[in-house]
Amino acid sequence: MKKKIRVLIIDDSAVVRQVLTDIIAADPEMEVMGAAADPFIAAERMKAEIPDVITLDLEMPRMDGLSFLKKIMSQHPIPVVMCSSLTEKGSESAIQALEYGAVEIIEKPRLGSRQFLEESAVRICDAIRAASRVRPRRIVASRREIAPKLTADAVIAKSTSLAMVKTTEKVVAVGTSTGGTEALRVFLEALPADSPGIVIVQHMPEHFTNAFARRLDGLCRISVKEAQHNDTVIPGRALIAPGNRHLLLKRSGARYYVELKDGPLVCRHRPSVDVLFRSAARYAGANAVGVIMTGMGDDGARGMWEMKEAGAVTIAQDEATSVVFGMPKEAIARGGVDMVLPLGGIAAAVLKNCR
């Protein structure tokens, strides 16, 4: 019998602890090891048994979640899924938590937490499941009912004709999920200021992508921003899909731009990598380079095959450097990948194929 994923819930809200307990208990693959109102109680519980995954609130009495995360990752690394409110301060701290080694973020509003978390049950269980597969590295502190799984057809129809022939204008489409915040940092930091225009889907909750983009913008030679409707895709700039909006690449004459759409979840995600990749296949064709990086599930696998079919060069991150080798593995299995490369080699390959 397969061993269940044992989860320790740390949150000062009794309501949140109960709702998360109910959600986790309803999943046959996992169980609640315990629930604690603050990190001190959790630490006592962990003396008796180490959980497979921890869900951790950011704002708690006696010790905040970020401080506890740093202590865990510097002493005994355990996969952690952060629970954060949708405030600006919360989103900044959650991005910092990802840098310290947290695997995923679960968004948590200050009001109406019970209903919101119940509606997000599938995403919560997916985040915990993904976290359980991660082998976290030691970090130095100084540094319910499942909805139908839709395809990109729900947002953009597949083109029945080939995109335009190659031009000198290139565009790079990138998709990633679990572990992608660090992978994107490594990839984007390696690019020169005059790199081709880049459009990115990183699975991340609403209100967090803006803080994430700003943080990357301060680290990279290219500019990085959260995409806005009709933003132009230009050399030296990366546009990141805002949480809860699909991002599509479009073209008008010689100009590439992005369109934001609401639409249904695709591969259980919004934004969806499949939606971005299909739009790149349709409107950029052989002028595009597609990159799929670390992440759980198969979002992007179908779209990457469509990009390759349209003449694009396609690249997948390898298993050794992926936090979760789900999305790249599925893309490779579908036959949509030209090259499988370690994370450190992707930027050079992108530049070479855009010259």
> What is the tens place of the pLDDT at every residue in 113-124?
788 788 788 889
In a domain, 246, yes or no: yes
Amino acid (one-letter) located at 83 = C
Stretch (H or E) spanning 238: strand 237-240
> Is the pLDDT assigned to residue 307 strictly greater than 50?
yes
In a domain, 62, yes or no: yes
Most confident of 54-68, 139-153, 184-198: 184-198
What average pLDDT does range 194-206 have in this prediction?
Answer: 94
Residue spans of alpha helices (H) in the chain: 14-25, 39-48, 65-75, 88-100, 113-119, 121-132, 180-189, 209-217, 273-283, 301-309, 327-333, 343-354
- The structural domain count of the chain equals 2
> Within this chain, do residues 229 and 314 fall inside the same structural domain, yes or no?
yes
Give pTM, 2 decimals: 0.84
> Within this chain, do residues 46 and 176 fall inside the same structural domain, yes or no?
no
User: What gap in Å lies between CA 6 and CA 16, rounded to an integer?
Assistant: 18
Given the residues 11, 27, 38, 299, the one annotated as active site:
299
In a domain, 137, yes or no: no
Given the residues 85, 93, 120, 177, the one annotated as active site:
177
Strands in 164-229 per DSSP E = 171-176, 197-202, 223-226
> Could you say which of 69, 102, 132 is where a domain stops?
132
In a domain, 69, yes or no: yes
pLDDT of 334: 96
> Within this chain, do residues 291 and 195 fall inside the same structural domain, yes or no?
yes
Give the model's confidence band at 312: pLDDT under 50 very low, under 70 low, under 90 confident, else very high. Answer: very high
> Within this chain, do residues 221 and 102 fall inside the same structural domain, yes or no?
no
> Within this chain, do residues 125 and 188 fall inside the same structural domain, yes or no?
no
pLDDT of 76: 87
In a domain, 138, yes or no: no
What average pLDDT does range 310-334 have in this prediction?
Answer: 96
> Is the pLDDT assigned to residue 157 strictly greater than 70?
no
What average pLDDT does range 231-245 have in this prediction?
Answer: 96
Domain of 162, in residue numbers: 152-354
pLDDT of 331: 98
> Within this chain, do residues 103 and 177 fall inside the same structural domain, yes or no?
no
pLDDT of 186: 96
289-300: per-residue pLDDT in tens?
999 999 989 999
> Is the pLDDT assigned to residue 350 strictly greater than 80?
yes
In a domain, 140, yes or no: no
Given the residues 203, 207, 246, 269, the one annotated as active site:
203
How many beta carbons lie within 10 A of that of residue 109, not counting itself? Answer: 13
Mention every residue, 6+ apart, whose C-beta is less than 8 A from residue 343: 183, 186, 187, 293, 317, 318, 321, 322
| CATH number (domain holding residue 84) | 3.40.50.2300
> Within this chain, do residues 127 and 156 fall inside the same structural domain, yes or no?
no
User: What gap in Å lies between CA 27 and CA 20, rounded to an integer?
Assistant: 11
The answer to whether 334 and 305 have CB atoms below 8 angstroms apart is yes
pLDDT of 234: 96
| CATH number (domain holding residue 159) | 3.40.50.180
> Could you say which of 78, 98, 132 is where a domain stops?
132
> Could you say which of 70, 104, 132 is where a domain stops?
132
> Within this chain, do residues 260 and 315 fall inside the same structural domain, yes or no?
yes
Q: What average pLDDT does the chain have?
A: 89
The answer to whether 225 and 242 have CB atoms below 8 angstroms apart is no
Q: Percentage of residues in the chain with pLDDT exceeding 70?
A: 90
Please count the CA atoms within 13 angstroms of the CA of 103 that sit on its side-chain side: 30
> Within this chain, do residues 89 and 212 fall inside the same structural domain, yes or no?
no
> Within this chain, do residues 184 and 122 fall inside the same structural domain, yes or no?
no
Top-confidence residue, 237 or 163: 237
Among 26-35, 201-210, 303-312, 330-339, where is mean pLDDT lowest?
A: 201-210
First-last CA distance in the chain: 53
> Is the pLDDT assigned to residue 143 strictly greater than 50?
no
Give the model's confidence band at 93: pLDDT under 50 very low, under 70 low, under 90 confident, else very high. Answer: confident
177 as an active site residue: the answer is yes
Among 155-159, 215-219, 262-266, 268-272, where is mean pLDDT lowest?
A: 155-159
> Within this chain, do residues 192 and 329 fall inside the same structural domain, yes or no?
yes
Among 104-113, 118-127, 302-311, 326-335, where is mean pLDDT lowest?
A: 104-113
The answer to whether 70 and 56 have CB atoms below 8 angstroms apart is no
93 as an active site residue: the answer is no
Q: How far is CA 270 from CA 157, 204, 283, 304, in A?
A: 17, 9, 20, 17
In a domain, 258, yes or no: yes
Give the model's confidence band at 144: pLDDT under 50 very low, under 70 low, under 90 confident, else very high. Answer: very low
> Is the pLDDT assigned to residue 265 strictly greater than 70?
yes
In a domain, 144, yes or no: no
> Within this chain, do residues 251 and 323 fall inside the same structural domain, yes or no?
yes
> Is the pLDDT assigned to residue 127 strictly greater than 80?
yes
What average pLDDT does range 69-75 have in this prediction?
Answer: 90
